[in-house]
Amino acid sequence: MTRRAAIVGGGVIGGGWLARFLLNGWDVAVFDPDPEAERKLSEVLANARRSLPGLYDAALPPEGHLRFCVSLEEAVAGAQWIQESVPERLELKHRVLTQIQAVMANDAVIGSSTSGFKPSELGAGVPRPGQVLVAHPFNPVYLLPVVEVVPHTSAAEDVITGALQTLRSIGMMPLRLRREMDAHVADRFLEAVWREALWLVKDDIATTQEIDDVIRFGFGIRWAQMGLFETYRIAGGEAGMAHFLAQFGPCLKWPWTRLTDVPDLDAALVEKISAQSDAQSGTRSIRELERIRDDNLVALMRALKGRDWASGHTLCEHDARLRRASAAPDWSQPVETAARSVPVDWTDYNGHMNESRYLELFSSATDRCMELIGCDAAYIEAGGSYFTVETHLQHLGETHAGATVRVTTQLLEGSGKRLHILNRMFDAGGELLATAEHLLIHVSLATRRATPPGAELRQRLAELQSRHAALPRPERLHCGKREESV
């Protein structure tokens, strides 16, 4: 059955909803009186098409059909879900929601993206308040999973259940609040932080950059994986949450923030928090939680390292520092092109380093080899590079997280367009764990076709190849037996 959603009110938020529904196979009809709406929504959709599908390790269903409508009635007719994202003015919301309810299917549900209004406020001005629920998402809506769901008190339980299911079906993580609240939950935190930040900038304690840095190089990384309470539970150690509260509680009396209306941390509140924290994290020991946290942090920071951004940039800088300290390569032997510790997130269900991580390591060794022969960042920037056309991997032993490994590279052939190398990976004791034979072809990055390397590179390659010519070669080579074309 084709599922149909209506998007009422475009902009960045409406566009994000549109993208989520459309890319998950829903037909989507849009109504927004803004003459710029189609352009704005198309920009959001382009961003979503670029980033959302790759999140998954399975293919999304074929995209639904997108239609821009000239009237609200046309957009809403036949939709099972209507998402309202008009500006935050209550009388406008009342008018639009009432118009929608006049034409929508009997069993349709309206989600309102409101960040400020409670369901009781929205419901006060519409005929069927039980069919309007707050579904408050976060920007970018097409990527961030959380959506705060707050139903009206008159909503039927099956309407709520169905709504939660719909939101999950488009990849979201609906969080149903137990009571309505001004600004729901998340924005209250954002508001508290925002107010504090305004004071810090106003009082010249920190700049916007410094405030952003203290967040993204510190507790921001922590909060991508565990929230406030689970993090503090770990800080409290085996003694538990109540112990943490006893230590931390007195700080609440300190005149730290400008924000000073403080709840009384009495026995009842301590007991409540402890009990909730036990229910949340109590099945795991603090030691387990620490390791989960650390593995998450390593994976997150290494992910950012691939982008050379925020804490990932700090890691890149330290890499450069570590590499500067290493010795110049000795070309009388296979040269060392990688040396590292196996990260905790490289392990798979077999309890050892996953095969793709072997190639990740060998690939970085090949990169280093290219750099050493003169195909470095500047050379690549100028438009030449090598593409791998063939690789043969052999596994001789297992490797585990925490192991120190090194890779050496032997030049088998470096002539014409071809670069044929053998990478060998060893453990700390010198035992051979795996080999990788690679055949690369020199290309022009402009034409994406094979082309001879520059004169300087050719000369350096010839020289280095002659130094490796005397080294013993493997009995049997596996690459280069076919004619290559890139």
Smaller CB distance to its own copies: residue 77 or 201?
A: 201
Of residues 47 and 465, the one with the C-beta less far from its own copies: 47
**Of 2, 34, 36, 53, which one interacts with its own copies (CB under 8 A)?**
53
Cβ distance to its own copies smaller for residue 99 or 220? 220
- Exactly one of 89, 195, 449, 473 binds its own copies (CB under 8 A); which one? 195
Using CB under 8 A, which residues numbered 70 to 99 contact its own copies? Answer: none
Of these, 124, 205, 462, 471, which contacts its own copies (CB under 8 A)? 205
Nearer to its own copies, 25 or 73 (CB): 25
Per rule CB under 8 A, count of chain residues that contact its own copies: 180
Distance CA 130, CA 152 (A): 6
SS (H, E, C) the chain: CCCEEEEECCHHHHHHHHHHHHHCCCEEEEECCCCCHHHHHHHHHHHHHHHCHHHCCCCCCCCCCEEECCCHHHHHCCCCEEEECCCCCHHHHHHHHHHHHHHCCCCCEEEECCCCCCHHHHHCCCCCHHHEEEEEECCCCCCCCEEEEEECCCCCHHHHHHHHHHHHHCCCEEEECCCCCCCCCHHHHHHHHHHHHHHHHHCCCCCHHHHHHHHHHHHHHHHCCCCHHHHHHHHHHHHCHHHHHHHHHHHHHCCCCCCCCCCCCCHHHHHHHHHHHHHHHCCCCHHHHHHHHHHHHHHHHHHHHHCCCCHHHHHHHHHHHHHHCCCCCCCCCCEEEEEEECCHHHECCCCCECHHHHHHHHHHHHHHHHHHHCCCHHHHHCCEEEEEEEEEEEECCCCCCCCEEEEEEEEEEEECCEEEEEEEEEECCCCEEEEEEEEEEEEECCCCEECCCCHHHHHHHHHHHHHHCCCCCCCCCCCCCCCCCC
Smallest gap, in angstroms, from Cβ of residue 305 to its own copies? 8
- Which of 273, 284, 297, 186 lies closest to 234, judged by CA? 284
| Interacting residues with its own copies between 351 and 390 (CB under 8 A) | 351, 354-360, 362-364, 377, 380, 385, 387-390
| Residue list 306-345, contact with its own copies (CB under 8 A) | 306-307, 309-311, 314-315, 317-319, 321-323, 325-326, 338-345
Closest contact distance (angstroms) between CB of 5 and its own copies is 17
Contacting its own copies within 121-180 (CB under 8 A)? 138-140, 143-146, 148, 168-169, 171-173, 175, 177-179
Stretch of residues binding its own copies (CB under 8 A), selected from 27-35, 67-75, 104-112, 402-410: 402-410
Least distance to its own copies from the beta carbon of 104, Å? 26
Judged by CB, which is closer to its own copies: 360, or 463? 360
Contacts of its own copies in 407-446 (CB under 8 A): 445
Nearer to its own copies, 104 or 372 (CB): 372
Q: Which of residues 465-484 bind its own copies (CB under 8 A)?
A: 476, 478, 481-482
Binding residue for its own copies, selected from 267, 349, 429, 470, defined by CB under 8 A? 349
Of residues 215-244, those binding its own copies (CB under 8 A): 215-230, 234-235, 237
398 sits near its own copies (criterion: CB under 8 A): yes
47 is an interface residue for its own copies by CB under 8 A: yes
The verdict on 246 binding its own copies (CB under 8 A) reads no
Q: Which of 65, 89, 253, 272 binds its own copies (CB under 8 A)?
A: 272
Smallest separation (angstroms) from its own copies to the CB of 74: 28
